[in-house]
Amino acid sequence: MSPIIIPVETFDLIVFGGTGDLARRKLLPALYHRDSDDQLPEASRIIGISRSQIDKEVYREQIEAALREHITEEHIDEATLARFLGRLDHVTLDAKQDTGWAELAERLDGYEERVRVFYLATAPGLFGAVCQKIGEHGMNTPACRVVLEKPIGRDLASAREINDAVGKVFAEEQIYRIDHYLGKETVQNLMVLRFANALFEPLWNATAIDHVQITVAESIGVEGRGGYYDRSGALRDMVQNHLLQLLCLVAMEPPTAFAADAVRDEKLKVLRALKPIKDGDVAKKTVRGQYRAGASNGAAVPGYLDEIDGGESRTETFVALKAEIENWRWSGVPFYLRTGKRLAARTSEIVVHFKCIPHSIFNVRDDDIEANRLVVRLQPDEGMEMSLMVKEPGPGGMRLRPASLNLSFAETFKVRYRDAYERLLMDVVRGNPTLFMRRDEVEAAWTWIEPVITAWQEQREPPKPYTASTWGPSAAIALIERDGRTWYEI
């Protein structure tokens, strides 16, 4: 099955942080794949911005090495690679200084009619300064957009400060706040599952659903990002954006259309309906942990403090919490969220646990009849799985057991799985903001998260330790088992 390739307009994409990890590992490989599928117009250009004193030839050599590292050999076509590298340019520029901006403006001069995308793959503290310079040098054209990577700030006040600074140069409809989880095929299929099938939506409420679990687990540690991560932590880095966005897609009401503001209006309602976690509730409904040394596949794994060069740190590498939505659809249905580093497996999934049947007509113990369960797998094996009770084949009575209906995207569609950035980058060029966060969404998420951050700081309790390659601290198990439930683990 061949995917349908929708053409886009000719564009210039300017990547601030053009030699950084995100550009080398995700952005430029995604653009190469779009070029390989003949989606990039011939005249489109990609301009990397960095402080490195290099010319475009050296930059092209660096990016070629990155592409060969992060793209499998079977997907490297030498003719396509040469064409893609020919699109690349580089401008040496320091975002906080005046030098280099005139050169960038000169490269863009004469191309005002084409789509222009500024991608800020930099520290959030530079967003305002970069946008100010873009405005001062007259580079904000009518067909211009700016992409902001997460996190947008460290708290509500800093998020508002960043949004205000960017908003002085760009109108809200020009601003694309990216969360790459929303570009994942399975996440988009969650909306299709709910709103394109008559089967689930009538059951998608407190009448039929017992609880929902959302897990984003990583088996790796901080991987050289210790400086950033120690200032952030799992709550800011993952919960405030990724997990809350997934919660919104599970819990939102049907939008009037699959259109940007219709979808984002419904997500905002969910965020505003979240019951605040504050004061004494923080200790009961949240858990934070930090991994210690352990082992994985027989090899020693360092602890978090070892990976950030020793010393002390109260930064959490694991978070579990219980969220509740105060509206008619979800009253009484808890949402259990957890995320962490150095966990037992790399997996991201949404698990919808339905309620048990009210009465069994079969001559078996009630415990032998499991409740139905829908698992939406985001990674590593994207797909969906529905657990049902069935009869075992053969004579000798009615023997029941759970069995799964399993939809694997890779096996069903047999195409290369597109990275989320491929979809999202092309959506920016098209001017389609449906899968991007609006300002009020970001600030509503911080409004809910901030009391938890404040309470943790005031409690002064260190994160609970857990051994690397496990599923987190025992307190996370107690969090859900106090309610008579248990974590779903593969």
Q: Give the catalytic positions in this structure.
A: 242
Contact 276/448 with Cβ under 8 angstroms?
yes
Rounded Cα gap, residues 191 and 486, in angstroms = 26
> DSSP letters of 352-391?
EEEPPPS---SSS-GGGSPPPEEEEEEESS-EEEEEEEEE
Rounded Cα gap, residues 426 and 423, in angstroms = 5
- Residues whose CB is less than 8 angstroms from the CB of residue 461 and which lie 6 or more positions away in sequence, other chains included: none
What is each CA distance from 119 to 26, 70, 123, 177, 445, in whole angstroms? 13, 20, 12, 10, 23
Give the torsion sign (CA, 187, 193, 195, 201).
negative
Pairing of β 115-120 and β 88-92: unpaired
> DSSP letters of 167-204?
HTTS-GGGEEE--GGGGSHHHHHHHHHHHS-TTTGGGS
Which tokens sit at 195? 């709103």
Which tokens sit at 305? 């403090």
Say which residue the tokens 């951050």 belong to: 453
